[in-house]
Chain A
């Protein structure tokens, strides 16, 4: 066991200004246990009075080695870990993983499964934005927003529980389709959400959008231009708030998104307030997509019948020897994917969630890399926070909408 080394200011000399070395500015540690860093983010701040001179993020406190762990598991078993990456967008992670595996082995998914995938990922996007709205408004001292948002989120988690038996870590979307079909109560529960939630979003807007305190704290704060966003790899609502109309659901459609009619909201200001407006509009659009998908939800199977890659249904195992063999083979040694490398990306609530998957022909992913949006979005924080007040920094962190499980993996 080596001795624990401590990082000294000397080692960070190249990151702080000369004034910090001379003792004119103060180095202050914010986090990792700090409620407004939304998890375990540590920021080393160089302060001149209340003004942030430099901000040095220190991440890795939630590093769980998910990529290494996934490489040691078969394709089916590795999926369970994808939920744990971005724990606010669990269904979206399952979708990203499933699409990557389907692309790797060239597997078709029935249309009913695709439509249910869209419904569930859009509901997850809604609940992720709800948590963002609640917590970032809480950072700005709007306590009641937090309670309202978490009240609504329960309805969505109830739908997840109804489908998969789990509220958050669902693993419901599987390579080749879904775990099973949705229960009969599903449609009524989603219709209930569609009926009540648009009014709720109006209520949030009434509470926040023209609120003078909200405007004071967010308008013109944490600006990023579109060029800076692209250069920093910032994607998702942050990029759209800076005026770039780029949404993978629209521009590189997957899972049948091209059939749905929805808007991609953009703003040009690129500040905290613009990000708030973009996300709020995205919540409305998510409901629009859910409604269309539910209206034309086709009947049919929800799993591919290519039993080389997808386990056969339980009912077949009892009557078909072949199904039994497939089931046994798939759950003991897994399927062998053809050798090759692919990259596939989906639009998560935070931006481009990409999966780089490489196979060497064996039953386990040879290499899987998660391109997580929060990792790149967080990198722009030092740029955004130059010269702002500490209180504004809190608002900026909230607007990035980081999930530390997503950053650290």
Chain B
């Protein structure tokens, strides 16, 4: 871990609780969901100007917490990176939005809603972003099956063709 990061981590730990872990030199801090906006405000104040990534992991079939939402920050001025992990339960998952602090969180939170079904109360425009507006389900959840297309040969071409979801004329 970078020595310069230690005071930041100590400060965040003291103020918001949370557990620091380290893997291959990357420090990550687990923060409770209710503290995330205050933590992000603090992190932004500490010079982490860039929200590099905002993503989630689904630990299905584990239910509480089912998801971890990962906030990856970069500080351009001090040249540091910091990861925050927020556990989110599987039933009615939701997290407060940080799109008013980091404006690129807008699309990234929409992506999380689209792909994982995590809601962000207070988000200005929480629509699906990558999938069509009428899509059912959230594709990156682990209980969502990976789709595939059946290969068509001459002997079963028509049979498979009937099953294909073509748009109706």
Tell yes or no: A261 within 8 A of B by CB: no
* A65 in contact with B139 (CB, 8 Å): yes
Query: Could you mark each residue 99-114 of chain B with 1 if its beta carbon is under 8 Å from any beta carbon of chain A, else 0?
Result: 0001110111000000
Query: Could you mark each residue 65-83 of chain A with 1 if its beta carbon is under 8 Å from any beta carbon of chain B, else 0?
Result: 1011100100000000000
* A103 in contact with B24 (CB, 8 Å): yes
CA distance A56 to B128 in the complex (A): 14
* B103 in contact with A252 (CB, 8 Å): no
Tell yes or no: A9 within 8 A of B by CB: no
User: Contacts of B165 on A, CB cut-off 8 Å?
Assistant: 1
CA distance A7 to B132 in the complex (A): 10
* A14 in contact with B103 (CB, 8 Å): no
* B52 in contact with A60 (CB, 8 Å): no
Tell yes or no: B5 within 8 A of A by CB: no
* A7 in contact with B139 (CB, 8 Å): no
* A232 in contact with B79 (CB, 8 Å): no
* A63 in contact with B131 (CB, 8 Å): yes
CA distance A339 to B130 in the complex (A): 29
* B52 in contact with A233 (CB, 8 Å): yes
Residue among B23, B104, B124, B125 having the largest count of chain A Cβ atoms under 10 Å: B104
* Closest Cβ–Cβ distance, residue B106 to chain A (whole Å): 7
CB proximity to B under 8 Å, residues A226-243: 230-235
B127 (CB) vs chain A CBs: closest residue: A11
User: Contacts of A235 on B, CB cut-off 8 Å?
Assistant: 50
* B76 in contact with A343 (CB, 8 Å): no
Tell yes or no: A106 within 8 A of B by CB: yes
The one of B49, B125, B167 that contacts A231, using a Cβ cutoff of 8 Å = B49
* A371 in contact with B129 (CB, 8 Å): no
User: Contacts of A366 on B, CB cut-off 8 Å?
Assistant: 57
Tell yes or no: B43 within 8 A of A by CB: no
User: Contacts of A371 on B, CB cut-off 8 Å?
Assistant: 52-53, 55, 72
* A230 in contact with B76 (CB, 8 Å): yes
User: Contacts of A139 on B, CB cut-off 8 Å?
Assistant: none
Tell yes or no: A10 within 8 A of B by CB: no
* A341 in contact with B49 (CB, 8 Å): no
CB proximity to B under 8 Å, residues A1-36: 1-5, 7, 11, 14-15
* Closest Cβ–Cβ distance, residue A99 to chain B (whole Å): 12
* B104 in contact with A233 (CB, 8 Å): yes
Tell yes or no: A198 within 8 A of B by CB: no
Given A69-B146, A356-B70, A376-B104; A230-B52 close (CB under 8 Å): no
CA distance A356 to B71 in the complex (A): 11
User: Contacts of B133 on A, CB cut-off 8 Å?
Assistant: 5, 7
User: Contacts of A341 on B, CB cut-off 8 Å?
Assistant: 23, 26, 28, 57, 70
Tell yes or no: A288 within 8 A of B by CB: no
* Closest Cβ–Cβ distance, residue B11 to chain A (whole Å): 21
CB proximity to B under 8 Å, residues A51-98: 59-60, 63, 65, 67-69, 72
* B72 in contact with A379 (CB, 8 Å): no
Tell yes or no: B136 within 8 A of A by CB: yes
Tell yes or no: A244 within 8 A of B by CB: yes
Given A233-B50, A252-B79; A354-B24 close (CB under 8 Å): no
Residue among B106, B107, B144 having the largest count of chain A Cβ atoms under 10 Å: B107
The one of A231, A244, A343, A379 that contacts B81, using a Cβ cutoff of 8 Å = A343
* Closest Cβ–Cβ distance, residue B19 to chain A (whole Å): 14
Nearest 7 CB-CB pairings of A with B: A233-B104, A371-B53, A60-B130, A369-B55, A230-B49, A5-B134, A340-B23
Given contacts A2-B136, A354-B52, 7 further A-B contacts (CB under 8 A): A63-B130, A232-B104, A233-B51, A341-B23, A343-B72, A352-B52, A409-B130
Q: Chain B residues in contact with chain A, CB under 8 A?
A: 23-24, 26, 28, 49-53, 55, 57-58, 70, 72, 74, 76, 79, 81, 83, 102-104, 106-108, 124-125, 127-134, 136, 139-140, 144, 146-147, 165, 167
